[in-house]
Amino acid sequence: MKIIICTLLVFVSSISYSQSPAQVKVLLDKITTVTNSKNIIKSKEAKKLISYNKRILLLLSFNFADDTKTSVVSDCLDRKLTRGEIAMIIADHIDRMPYFQLTGVQNCTVTFCVENPNFIEYYFWWLKTSSEKVIFRNKYITYIGNGELIEPIHYPEINEKQH
Domain limits, the chain: 2-150
pLDDT tens digits for range 105-162? 766 555 667 788 888 888 887 787 778 888 889 999 998 887 554 444 444 444 444 4
- What's the pTM value of the predicted model, to 2 decimals? 0.76
- Higher per-residue confidence, 159 vs 33: 33
Q: Rounded distance, CA 156 to CA 59, Å? A: 10
- CB distance 46 to 40 below 8 Å: yes
pLDDT of residue 44: 96
116 phi/psi in degrees, rounded to 5: -120, 125
- CB distance 99 to 78 below 8 Å: no
Percent helix, percent strand, percent coil in the chain, to nearest 5: 55, 5, 35
pLDDT of residue 157: 47
pLDDT of residue 120: 82
